[in-house]
Amino acid sequence: MTQLGFFIDLTKCTGCQTCTVACKDAHNLEVGRNFRKVLEAESGTWKQDRATGAWHQDVRAYYVSISCNHCADPACVKVCPTEASHVAEDGSIQIDKEKCIGCKYCMAACPYGARIVQEKTGVVEKCRFCWDGEKPGNPPACVGTCISGARIFGDLDDPDSEINQAIAKYHAQPLADNLTVSKIYYVR
């Protein structure tokens, strides 16, 4: 069965925010509301060699493009009282706008702050892999516009898919697999 996901290579990401802009444009999001964000991150440390006293560092700064993780066990779906939030056949987490009553339970439940409420409609929304009502965008707006080719969209259930080959080759991992089982894999 199809299980859609993203592969994102953070070593290629330049932080240009094209994915954020493409997503906002594709979904006509209001000012101040976005499905996707690109954050600045840092990792590594300085260490002193006890023998020589010399300092060495592996500190680096990088960018992280984040949005809904399309969790395998989504908290947002569990708390939704109207079943507006649901798991689609392709494993993506979708929202039926007609059923959403704007209670925001899903916003409180999501550990990633992935959801926003549209002021004009009162409906809660998020990344839906650019679904057009029946099927996902092919590719979603953020993938086709990424200037660095840092993103791959595809079927995690197909061992021969481009996304699975990239995950295996670069040992990509979800960002926070201790919170939920995410379908977004990153190279850091």
The binding site for ligand SF4 (CB under 6 A) comprises 13-19, 38, 63, 65, 68-71, 74-76, 93, 110, 112, 114-115, 126, 146-148, 150-151, 180
Kindly state the smallest distance separating residue 24's Cβ from ligand SF4, in Å. 12
| C-beta of residue 14 within 8 angstroms of C-beta of residue 63 | yes
Kindly state the smallest distance separating residue 99's Cβ from ligand SF4, in Å. 16
Kindly state the smallest distance separating residue 161's Cβ from ligand SF4, in Å. 20
Between 145 and 165, name the residue whose CB sits nearer to ligand SF4.
145
Between 165 and 175, name the residue whose CB sits nearer to ligand SF4.
175
Between 127 and 155, name the residue whose CB sits nearer to ligand SF4.
127
Between 93 and 155, name the residue whose CB sits nearer to ligand SF4.
93
Between 51 and 105, name the residue whose CB sits nearer to ligand SF4.
105
Cα within 13 Å of Cα(132), Cβ side: 7
Kindly state the smallest distance separating residue 131's Cβ from ligand SF4, in Å. 14
β-bridge partners, 34: none
First and final C-alpha spacing in the chain: 28
Kindly state the smallest distance separating residue 15's Cβ from ligand SF4, in Å. 5
From residue 183, alpha-carbon distances to 12, 99, 118 in Å are: 20, 25, 25
